[in-house]
A and B are shown apart, each in its own frame.
Chain A
Amino acid sequence: MSDLLFHIFALLSVACALGVVFNKNAVASALCFLLSLVGVAGLFVLLDAFLLAVLLVLVYAGAVVALFLFIIMLLDMQGGDRKRFTKATILSSTVAAGLLVTGLVSFASHGLVETADPATVKVVGSSLRAYAEQLFTVYLLPVQIVGFLLLIAMLGVIVLSKKFEGLEDVK
């Protein structure tokens, strides 16, 4: 049962992720992204990480994609004609794809990934308490740093997009 569900959700998220890239219509791409996120949330549920699944739907599917759609509609983006590939683009993308494949193959064949016995792995994502404890002890610093980075990015966007005419505007 859960194998079947895994295949359904995995197929959904991968197929929709491809849809995001290949759709010419920006709104259709955003909706594919939405479905892809729902698929990933389903995978989280199968891993018993209910909180993560719900937060993914709440934050990304519920708010971020809605903002994407808002911007797409506000700017009235039409897919437009795609530029033809130049020789430099073809060359660099072939090299990049080759590097990616090499990396994945070497990781799969020679990678030293220690897979612990599933029975001994401590489940930290299932109960709210365990999740919060990890968040406020082990991962406190990374979370704060990521939050700080996001704040800086937000400030940067505001500074770049707002036109400052005189000293008065800065104040």
Chain B
Amino acid sequence: MFDFYFELPLLLRLLLQGTVVILVLFPLAAACSMAERKISAWIQGRPGPNRTKPPLAGFLAPLGLVASIPVLGTLLQKLGIFQLAADGGKFTFKEDPVPGHVNKFYFILAPIASMIPALSTVAFVPFGAYFNAAGELVPVALAHVDVGLLAVFALGSLGVYSLILAGWASNSKYPFLGGVRASAQLISYELSMTLSVLPVFLWVNAPGGQGTLSLFEVVQSQSQPGFWGGTWYVMTMPVSAFIFLIALFAETNRQPFDMPESEADLVGGFHTEYGAFKWSLFFVAEYAHMIVGSGIFCLLFLGGWNPLPWVSLADTIHALANILPCVSTPLFMGLIAIGIFLGKVGFFIFFFMWVRWTLPRFRYDQVMTLGWKKLLPLSIANLIVYALGIAWLQTR
């Protein structure tokens, strides 16, 4: 069915795949901003955006526009779906002034630089799996490399430069403070984050293996038969998962850790001087980091594309194939796997927003104390305990 696709040159295929992933990730990140408005409204007991509808929807009814369908159109309007398009239009066509006192080159470079790590980290994230012709499980990912997780961390750590640059290039007091805070905060929490995932890889790399940091192998090791083979790592390593989650909040600058932005004391932080399209790029980048970060959390601790603990994707597909034979084809299986994975990621996006609209922001010194005096010792202790435990269990 897809033979013509595999006959294309490799470079063209990779280009097409990359474009498709970006075309999915970019609107998804933009849609997150809409979801944020709706969820914040829901948590605060207000309706949120519910008025926007396409222009002239009443007159264009005969053309069969979605908005003019009686029940569904109203529902979509209430959900604020059309607000997304309106916001996008506003950000694109609004006047985009560049203040006179900024360092122009770096001022324009910063939002562009924010997109590069945000969209390139996703290349190393496997988001599904399917059986190939030989019956082996193959990951759906742009680049399936052995150093997967480290590559994501490495590229993700470059995201801080856009914040620093924006703060510095704005050449005024509050953005500058935001940029300085961003650099300090991201370095502080990167340590705990990296240390917190080590127990997972200690366990995955059992003696005798070739050694891997691949995220696909982590999911594979959570989909083995038997009680211990099928448990997700969030159950066996809850402390690691907890530290990783907290560090993830700090690394993506989400409340209660949004020090670079904190609008209460820094006006708008690093993006005070930005408006229109450049401002929206920062936000798309932040949401893209959130999506990728949630994806990493699901792969490491929540079994990736396995629907339930002790129920692996392969078992599900075999069971479903008895009823509907077509699900075991690569296309259907890939779509099911991606659907399960995106469902988990979606829950985490919701969790991010839930926390944001529930908890108050930390003070800056509290963020630093938490990072260096609490989280880092905890993650080192966690690593030592698990290293000893895993050494004892795996050499028995």
A and B held together in a complex: yes
Distance in Å from the Cβ of B12 to the closest Cβ of chain A?
14
Is the C-beta of B140 less than 8 angstroms from some C-beta in chain A? no
* CA distance in complex: A53, B101 (Å): 38
* CA distance in complex: A132, B205 (Å): 12
**Contact flag A51-B157 (CB < 8 Å), given A27-B168, A128-B211:** no
Residue in contact with B211 in the complex, picked from A57, A58, A61, A127, CB distance below 8 Å: A127
**Contact flag A66-B183 (CB < 8 Å), given A54-B154, A73-B176:** yes
Cβ B186 vs Cβ A66 within 8 A? yes
Q: Which residue of A lies closest to B177 (CB)?
A: A73
Cβ A62 vs Cβ B157 within 8 A? yes
Distance in Å from the Cβ of A49 to the closest Cβ of chain B?
10
Cβ A58 vs Cβ B150 within 8 A? yes
Contacts of B213 in A (CB 8 A): 128
Is the C-beta of A34 less than 8 angstroms from some C-beta in chain B? yes
Is the C-beta of A55 less than 8 angstroms from some C-beta in chain B? yes
List residues 165-199 of chain B with CB under 8 A from any CB of chain A: 165, 167-168, 176, 179-180, 183-184, 186-187, 190
Cβ A66 vs Cβ B150 within 8 A? no
What number of B residues sit within 8 Å (CB to CB) of A? 31
Is the C-beta of A146 less than 8 angstroms from some C-beta in chain B? no
Contacts of A63 in B (CB 8 A): 157, 187, 190
What number of A residues sit within 8 Å (CB to CB) of B? 24
Cβ B210 vs Cβ A129 within 8 A? yes
Is the C-beta of B203 less than 8 angstroms from some C-beta in chain A? no
Cβ B158 vs Cβ A70 within 8 A? no
Residue in contact with A34 in the complex, picked from B151, B161, B186, CB distance below 8 Å: B161
**Contact flag A73-B168 (CB < 8 Å), given A50-B145, A127-B211, A129-B211:** yes
* CA distance in complex: A54, B146 (Å): 11
Residue in contact with A70 in the complex, picked from B106, B145, B183, CB distance below 8 Å: B183
Is the C-beta of B243 less than 8 angstroms from some C-beta in chain A? no
Contacts of B157 in A (CB 8 A): 57-58, 61-63, 66
Contacts of B154 in A (CB 8 A): 54-55, 57-58, 61-62
Is the C-beta of A69 less than 8 angstroms from some C-beta in chain B? yes
Distance in Å from the Cβ of B280 to the closest Cβ of chain A?
24
Cβ A54 vs Cβ B150 within 8 A? yes
Distance in Å from the Cβ of A10 to the closest Cβ of chain B?
21
B-contact 0/1 string along A34-51, CB 8 Å cutoff: 100000000000000011
* CA distance in complex: A135, B186 (Å): 29
Contacts of A65 in B (CB 8 A): 161
Question: Chain B contact residues: over half helix, strand or loop, or mixed?
Answer: helix
Cβ A67 vs Cβ B183 within 8 A? yes
* CA distance in complex: A95, B213 (Å): 49
Is the C-beta of A74 less than 8 angstroms from some C-beta in chain B? yes
Is the C-beta of B212 less than 8 angstroms from some C-beta in chain A? yes
Contacts of B165 in A (CB 8 A): 31
A-contact 0/1 string along B135-170, CB 8 Å cutoff: 000000000011100110111011011001101100
B-contact 0/1 string along A101-124, CB 8 Å cutoff: 000000000000000000000000
Cβ A54 vs Cβ B164 within 8 A? no
Cβ A128 vs Cβ B190 within 8 A? no
* CA distance in complex: A104, B164 (Å): 40
Contacts of A55 in B (CB 8 A): 150, 154
Cβ B187 vs Cβ A128 within 8 A? no
* CA distance in complex: A58, B184 (Å): 16
CB pairs A–B below 8 angstroms (29 shown)? A27-B106, A54-B147, A54-B151, A57-B155, A57-B158, A58-B150, A58-B154, A62-B153, A62-B157, A62-B158, A62-B160, A63-B187, A65-B161, A66-B160, A66-B161, A67-B183, A67-B187, A69-B168, A69-B183, A70-B183, A70-B187, A73-B180, A74-B180, A127-B210, A127-B211, A128-B147, A128-B205, A128-B210, A131-B211
Show the binding face of B for A, using Cβ within 8 Å. Answer: 106, 145-147, 150-151, 153-155, 157-158, 160-161, 164-165, 167-168, 176, 179-180, 183-184, 186-187, 190, 205, 209-213
Show the binding face of A for B, using Cβ within 8 Å. Answer: 27, 31, 34, 50-51, 54-55, 57-58, 61-63, 65-67, 69-70, 73-74, 127-129, 131-132
Closest 8 CB pairs between A and B? A62-B157, A128-B211, A129-B211, A58-B154, A57-B154, A70-B183, A54-B150, A54-B147
